[in-house]
Structure 1
Amino acid sequence: MEGPDANQGAGSTGDGADAPDRTVALRDGDAALLERLLSGEHRALARVITRIEEREPGYRGLVSALYDHTGGADVIGVTGAPGAGKSTLVDKLAAAYRDRGDTVGVVAVDPSSPYSGGAVLGDRIRMASNVGDMDVFFRSMSARGQLGGLSMATADAVKALDAFGKDVVVIETVGAGQNEVDVVRTADTVAVLVQPGSGDDVQTLKAGILEIGDVFVVNKADVDGAERALAELEEMVHRREGSTATPGADAGHHGPPGPGVPDAEGSAGADSPEATVDREDAEASGWTPEVLGTVAETGEGVEELIAAFDAHAAHLRESGELTRTRRRRYAEEIRTLVRADVGALATEAIERRGGIEALADHVRRKEADPYGVAAGIVDPIAACLEDRDDPADGWPGKPNEPGDDST
């Protein structure tokens, strides 16, 4: 329905105020758009990703419908410091994948414009090798203020490319330090790029990027200092692999944060039940990251890099690690969505009480305190959750079948 009430749903306050659209039902018009995407229409794919990026009303229904059609693509994350040559390498990777007959989707997470919120680098004109090839779909997306990280919209765009039928989806991140670890929540295989002679190899360890890589790449391997960078990375990788045998040590890409480091839920990562499970998974993974040299400008080393990606993908499937990796990814998506939606509900409640400034004035006049104000907003939400039926009975659209013990 496209009438005045078409956008009214679980995410609407009904009072004319803008509110997040939390509905997951697929609209009639969107069902047709989804069918066009699944049938291989690139215009429909572009439209779906735009709907996702702009968070247009009904986008959640589209993403929910995409899930049943995902899981076929190898998802590769390419990250590293700015200037390491990520875009040029991704361009050459896409061309090499096409040469062997694979279809490719590329999502490039660019810095956000402070004015429009859009991607600053636009169409990334320097990635020119695949211009005109309809089997390489390229999309620049804004990091939306999360420099170095992936917005939820980016993860959803990957699902659209996967459902479309792309064999390989490559995610290139901004490259801005610690927050690069967000890429592992969307990619099956992570390649970390460094360039020789600029101290990036040392900064990689300091920034924590070393812990997320499945493959390490010294790009611009034809310049002075490349051999040293390769040797140092090899040493760091072996040192990292040795540290995972120590109880409570950081388990890298396949494991939780170290002792005292908050996990996605804010708890002490190494001591949480989730961390214990992830650490056991990490110890069973058995993958030692490869260290390779490439020259992206000429394509040197690209075939060897793709072979390393293929080897890691095969390892994930044969070891069962792919199932565990995707389980962790979905768990993180659920946490992210729940945090965002509960936060949005709380924001709506604050606005109904006159706005945050009015509540702050109550505290300033000693008429209330911050803890009491917060409790007044959150307690009704908690009470509603407590009144709900047992979640074990199922969830909207996905009821448990008798005997279903799936995770």
Structure 2
Amino acid sequence: MTAPATPASATTSATARLIDDLRAGKPAAIARAVSIVENHRAGFDRILATLHASVGRARRVGITGPPGAGKSTMTTLLAKTLRAEGKRVAIVAVDPTSPFTGGALLGDRIRMESIALDPGIFIRSLATRGSLGGLSSATREVCDVLDAAGFDVILIETVGVGQSELDVARAADTTLVVLVPESGDSIQTLKAGVMEIADVFCVNKADRPGSDRLRNDIELMLGLRGGPASLDLPAHHGVDLTALAKDPEHREFVKDVMNPARAARRAAAGEQSDRWTPPVLQSVAAKGEGIDGVLAALDRHFRYLEASGQLRERRRTRLRERVVEVVEQKVRQRLWTDAATNAWVAGHLEAMEEGTETPFGVADALLARSGALLTTTNG
């Protein structure tokens, strides 16, 4: 005998209780809501829609860098420091996917054992599940749940996949890139992607040889990227730097032109409302050294975002990208789960094979015939 279906009213009531418990800060409810949203179980969109009005209060900090850079140690120490300031902290640790279960391997959870029992810290591991951008595809949705649950800061630690690890910049307000002296990181400073996503750089394991050189390499690249125009020097051809160097008003600027790394370091140290130059810091996270400086830089960047209007712009961009993602998901689901659509495409395979039709033409025709399917609201 078939069991009776759960009434919609009962499901709605259960979801309402779950959301009430989540807003009350109950860990079990937060964990359950995260699981529902991460796995796109029935009702996940209802949960996200209900929580949406409460999203936007938490600061989101992305922590990325190559494997072995000390990201988990850095994340743990940042969480401890934030807790000492009285803030509630959520950590989203993206781990590699288990080839057997499809879940996260939980390596980060093991490394964060020292803070796992703190009631003001919530740690969740997410599996990448094939995503090449360093984050799970559900990371931003999970962050929305944690944001609505009342956490003050959300730390998003990526899996550490290298140059393709750029999605974190789209999910976070501030991105911290952690590097180490070895492993060829000086070469990575030349990669445009890593240079452009970083709001703060940190050379970790700074007690190892090559730390100062790596820091100088990063600052040199930042100075070259900024160019002389960022130094507020007279901007016309034929500027006599020798003459300017004798002028006390421009002496420091001339030194910056001759030494772009110095220029980047000076720019990063200033509180400017019109532009941000990423500071390049050093730390030895295993010994707890340099963490206060990193947190101070993250705080300073957040103040810059608020003062410049970039915080609102970044979050508006995130909302727009979310709409695009949802539309793509819904279109994909409606088209490719529709038997008639799949049969129609199959009917054109022979013509495409013979060359009398092209995939582009078939795609245009498919969109033209699918209007009703794509615009009909599901009951």
Task: State the TM bucket, normalised to the shorter chain.
Answer: 0.7 to 0.9
**Deviation of 1:314 (Å):** 1.1
Is contact 2:104-2:125 (8 Å) kept? Answer: yes
- Aligned CA distance change for structure 1 residues 148 and 384 (closer, same or farther; 3 Å): closer
Contact 1:350–1:377 (8 Å) recurs in 2: no
User: What is the Cα deviation at residue 369 of structure 1?
Assistant: 4.4
Kindly state the Cα deviation for residue 189 of structure 1 after the two structures are TM-superposed.
0.5
Q: What's the offset of the Cα at 1:345?
A: 2.0
Q: Could you say which residue in structure 1 is the equivalent of 2:280?
A: 291
Counterpart in 1 of 2:102?
Answer: 117
- Paired residue type of 2:206: A
Give the AA of the match of 1:71.
G
Determine the structure 2 residue equivalent to 1:307: 296
Aligned match of 2:319: 330
Specify the code of the residue in structure 2 equivalent to 1:336. Answer: E
Counterpart of 2:140 in structure 1 is 155
Report the Cα distance in structure 2 between the residues aligned to 1:3 and 1:155, rounded to whole angstroms.
35
Q: Counterpart amino acid of 2:298?
A: F
What letter matches 1:294 in structure 2? Answer: S
Name the counterpart of 2:26: 41
Name the CA shift for 1:65/1:80 in 2 (closer, same or farther; >3 Å): same
Could you tell me how far apart the structure 1 residues matched to 2:338 and 2:274 are?
Answer: 45
Q: Deviations over 1:280-316 (max 9, x none)?
A: xxx9851111110011111100011001111111111
- 8 Å contact from structure 2 (residues 273, 307) kept in 1: no
Cα shift at 1:366: 6.6
CA contact (8 A) 1:80 1:194 kept: yes
Amino acid at match of 2:212: E
Decide which moves more: 324-333 or 177-186: 177-186
CA contact (8 A) 1:149 1:180 kept: yes
Please list every run of 5 or more consecutive structure 2 residues that lacks an aligned counterpart in the other structure: 231-271
Cα deviation for residue 243 of structure 1 reads 8.9
Q: Distance in 1 between matches of 2:192 and 2:7?
A: 46
Q: Is the 8 A contact 1:218 1:294 kept in 2?
A: yes
Given that 1:107 and 1:138 are in contact with CA atoms closer than 8 Å, whether structure 2 keeps it comes out as yes
Q: 1:131 to 1:353 in 2, by over 3 A?
A: closer
Higher helix share: 2
Is contact 1:72–1:162 with CA below 8 Å preserved after alignment?
yes
CA–CA separation in structure 1 for the residues paired with 2:277 and 2:89: 26
CA shift in 2, pair 1:285/1:92, >3 Å:
same
> Does the CA-based 8 Å contact 2:37-2:142 persist in structure 1?
yes
TM-score where L is the length of structure 2: 0.80
Partner in structure 2 of residue 276 of structure 1? none
Judging changes above 3 Å, is the alpha-carbon distance between structure 1 residues 229 and 116 closer, same or farther for their aligned structure 2 residues? same
What's the counterpart of residue 339 of structure 1? 328
For residue 258 of structure 2, what is the aligned residue in structure 1?
none
Tell me the number of residue pairs that the alignment of Structure 1 and Structure 2 aligns: 333
Match of 1:321 among 296, 305, 310: 310
Mapped to 2, the partners of 1:28 and 1:367 lie a distance apart of 56
**Distance (whole Å) between structure 2 residues aligned to residue 155 and residue 308 of structure 1:** 24
Give the match for residue 49 of structure 2.
64
Q: Which amino acid aligns with 1:308?
A: A
Which of these residues, 206, 226, 229, is aligned with residue 221 of structure 1?
206
* Amino acid across the alignment from 1:48: A
Give the Å deviation of 1:359.
5.3
One-letter identity of the residue aligned with 2:177? V
Moved more, 76-85 or 202-211: 202-211
3-state DSSP of counterpart to 1:208: helix
* Residues 243-262 of structure 1 aligned to structure 2 (within 5 Å): none
- Match of residue 16 from structure 1: none
Q: Percent identity?
A: 41
What corresponds to 2:154 in structure 1? 169
* Shift in Å, 1:69: 0.9
Distance 1:332 1:45, change over 3 A: same
Q: Is the 8 A contact 1:350 1:356 kept in 2?
A: no
Please name the residue that 1:201 is paired with: 186
CA distance in 2, matches of 1:28, 1:383: 33
Q: CA deviation at 1:381?
A: 3.2
1:28 is displaced (CA, Å) by 2.7
Letter in 2 for 1:299: G
Secondary structure of the equivalent of 1:176?
Answer: coil
Give, in whole Å, the separation in 2 of the partners of 1:113 and 1:160: 24
For residues 241-276 of structure 1, what are the alpha-carbon distances to aligned partners after superposition, in whole Å with 9 as ceiling and x for unaligned?
Answer: 33997xxxxxxxxxxxxxxxxxxxxxxxxxxxxxxx
Consecutive unaligned residues in structure 1, runs of 5 or more: 8-25, 246-282, 389-394, 396-407
Distance 2:191 2:18 in 1: 45
1:89 lines up with 2:64 in the alignment: no
CA RMSD of aligned residues (A): 2.9
The AA in structure 2 aligned to 1:353 is: N
